[in-house]
Structure 1
Amino acid sequence: MANPALRQAFAQKRFIVAPGVFDMISAKVADGMGFDCIYGTGFGTVASALGVADAGIATYSDMVARMGQMARGCRTPLIADADTGYGGLLNVRHTVMGYEQAGISGIQLEDQEMPKKCGHTPGRRVIPAEEMVLKIKVAAEARTSADFLIVARTDARTTLGLEEAIRRGLMYGDAGADIVFIESPESEEEMRAIGKAIAKPLLANMVEGGRTPILPAEKLKEIGYAMAIYPAIGFLAAAAALEKAYAHLKASGDSIAIGESYGFKRMTDLMGFPDVWNFESRWATKAAE
């Protein structure tokens, strides 16, 4: 079930910084670092699991399995991307129920047409705001605990303008969303306007190389935001490190110069090998007896 610590963090007015996680290694690394929340990125999860674009190809079954695995494997509350809810109102209800049962603490739903597209790429189209309002109401009704948070995202800014995006954000908050997420504002001035207009907790999406300026957490809080997600930071760093390591291996035929940059022992500790060895040692002794 949902972890109540996340709602408590919002109630205490702590600014929440949530790193993007996309597989169990990234999730476990982030889990040990003291964040209030981790964010299950759709882009990164689809890329790491399927090796394809975040363009509506992944299914509900793909995502609930992967996101649930990360949520159950971590102590830190996880908010997970759920695209459009994978269909109509009945699909949204099923998605919310499944995500909550999987141990996820918050679900992100967006108002794009299906198939959806990554929020910082071109060609996105949105459904009528009234249809999204119904999705949010269904989501609020479907959850069994108020600790399971609903993040309502609008992609209207890019195609319909900032005024329409703010109008939708207000509607979605009134419909029952706990957190409002206006995707891809294009300047600090636009972000300030969003912060002034919407009283519900606001989420900022900090994507390196995306449409929105990257602002420090202190600045985001000052202009009215309650939370920032960094969905790409993990998989961009991982891809850069892998490219460097593999290029060296290809060029030199060895890994000597790279060495243990993270450390094999640290990885075995992270994956729980000491517990395995302790278990095996105890039961080997009992078997010998």
Structure 2
Amino acid sequence: MTYLLAGSLETAPAGERFRALVESQDILQLPGAHNGLAAIQVKRAGFQAAYLSGAAMSASMGLPDLGIISVEDVCFFIRQTARASGLPVLVDGDTGYGEALNVMHMVRAFEDAGAAAVHLEDQLLPKKCGHLNDKKLAAPQDMAAKIAAAAKARRHLYIVARTDAAASEGMEGAVARAKLYLEAGADAIFPEALTTPEMFREFARQVDAPLLANMTEFGRTPFLTAQEFQELGYSMVIWPVSSLRVAARAQEQLYATIRDTGATKAILEQMQTRAELYDTIGYHEFEALDASIIATALP
């Protein structure tokens, strides 16, 4: 059932639903969904929540992930993913789009758009993907002030504090920052770009809070399964840009085929059919709803 259809609306706030999933015994698996259609597919695959990546949103707009996109740009994606799927969505809030007051505005805007959770990172603009080098970090107290502002502004939003400190300040610095951010009001911690299972385990040993792991491809983190992350002490795991990477490669192949052959026939078997697409987006359910409304309208 899509978000416009009767009986499809959730009554509990999204943040509360997300918190309950984090507190369950199994690790919360959060595949990236870069648009509304992907979010529906995440739900149909059986997942209970989704992730909205800043890198995926930026790339969808033809932009690099350097903190260029705005709060309103992100809200456009939140409305798609949350409404289309009905799932609680964890959203990449980058550095909060400014200082404390900007963070408070972001929190309210994200909640109004339908977000369940947000993560904020302790980089300075222009921020970078966490798995790149030469990241510039904000002072710990400045980041803590942003977390406190987010906690003050929220109604239900679940707040994850991301620290990129491991690369430049080591485990000791990352752990110290994490503890400070928890004191400021964060619900969970996201230690970015840890490079070995041992680092993940050690961070979990030292930080007593729900933890989020990032299983991005082509980065610094070795490939681990959700179960392996859970055994290392993590409550959540994201695959942030995977859906976009797969879709982008498929589109490259499509356009190359049209260019080389003047047709799409050679790639037809790789396409979702019209019937499959209509089934995914609930086309006929919308038709049935439309017919029922027309049938009951007064003359």
Q: Which moved more, 1:249-258 or 1:129-138?
A: 249-258
Q: Which runs of 4 or more aligned residues in structure 1 lie more than 6 Å from their structure 2 counterparts after TM superposition?
A: 283-287
Partner amino acid, structure 2, of 1:265: A
Q: What's the CA shift for 1:255?
A: 2.0
Partner amino acid, structure 2, of 1:116: K
TM-aligned CA distance change 1:277 to 1:27, over 3 Å: same
Matched with 1:7 is: 19
Q: How does 1:10-25 map to 2 (within 5 A)?
A: 10-25=22-37
Partner amino acid, structure 1, of 2:97: Y
Question: TM-score, structure 1 length as denominator?
Answer: 0.92
Deviations 1:157-183 (A, max 9, x none): 222222211211122122221110011
Matched with 1:270 is: 280
SS of equivalent to 2:135? coil
SS of equivalent to 1:237? helix
Question: Is it true that 1:224 corresponds to 2:233 in the alignment?
Answer: yes
Deviations 1:15-34 (A, max 9, x none): 11100111122112112222
Matched with 1:121 is: 132
Partner amino acid, structure 2, of 1:271: I
Matched with 2:7 is: none
Matched with 2:58 is: 46
The separation in 1 between residues aligned to 2:292 and 2:20, in whole angstroms, is: 40
Question: TM-score, structure 2 length as denominator?
Answer: 0.89
Sequence identity (%): 36
Matched with 2:246 is: 237
Q: What's the CA shift for 1:226?
A: 0.8
Contact kept in structure 2, 1:162 and 1:185, CA below 8 Å: no
Partner amino acid, structure 2, of 1:270: T
The separation in 1 between residues aligned to 2:262 and 2:161, in whole angstroms, is: 49
Partner amino acid, structure 1, of 2:133: P
The separation in 2 between residues aligned to 1:151 and 1:280, in whole angstroms, is: 41
The separation in 1 between residues aligned to 2:165 and 2:175, in whole angstroms, is: 9
Deviations 1:171-218 (A, max 9, x none): 212222111001101112211111111110110001101011121111
Q: What's the CA shift for 1:3?
A: 4.7
Partner amino acid, structure 2, of 1:126: L
What count of residue pairs does the alignment treat as equivalent? 285
The separation in 1 between residues aligned to 2:100 and 2:294, in whole angstroms, is: 54
The separation in 2 between residues aligned to 1:87 and 1:102, in whole angstroms, is: 19
Question: Is it true that 1:185 corresponds to 2:194 in the alignment?
Answer: yes
Contact kept in structure 1, 2:66 and 2:125, CA below 8 Å: no
Q: How does 1:85-234 map to 2 (within 5 A)?
A: 85-145=96-156, 148-234=157-243
TM-aligned CA distance change 1:254 to 1:108, over 3 Å: same
Matched with 1:35 is: 47
Partner amino acid, structure 2, of 1:272: G
TM-aligned CA distance change 1:72 to 1:251, over 3 Å: same
Partner amino acid, structure 1, of 2:119: Q
Partner amino acid, structure 2, of 1:184: A
The separation in 1 between residues aligned to 2:127 and 2:72, in whole angstroms, is: 16
Partner amino acid, structure 2, of 1:252: T
Q: What's the CA shift for 1:258?
A: 2.1
The separation in 1 between residues aligned to 2:87 and 2:292, in whole angstroms, is: 30
Partner amino acid, structure 1, of 2:217: E
Partner amino acid, structure 2, of 1:5: R
Matched with 1:69 is: 80
Contact kept in structure 1, 2:159 and 2:186, CA below 8 Å: yes
SS of equivalent to 1:196? helix
**Stretches of structure 2 lacking an aligned partner (at least 5 in a row):** 1-12
> Pairwise CA RMSD of aligned residues?
1.9
The separation in 2 between residues aligned to 1:281 and 1:139, in whole angstroms, is: 44
2:66 counterpart (44, 55, 66): 55
The separation in 2 between residues aligned to 1:237 and 1:140, in whole angstroms, is: 35
TM-aligned CA distance change 1:284 to 1:9, over 3 Å: closer
Contact kept in structure 1, 2:30 and 2:47, CA below 8 Å: yes
Q: What's the CA shift for 1:221?
A: 0.8
**Stretches of structure 1 lacking an aligned partner (at least 5 in a row):** none
Matched with 1:256 is: 265
Q: What's the CA shift for 1:260?
A: 4.4
Partner amino acid, structure 2, of 1:245: L
The separation in 2 between residues aligned to 1:65 and 1:180, in whole angstroms, is: 26
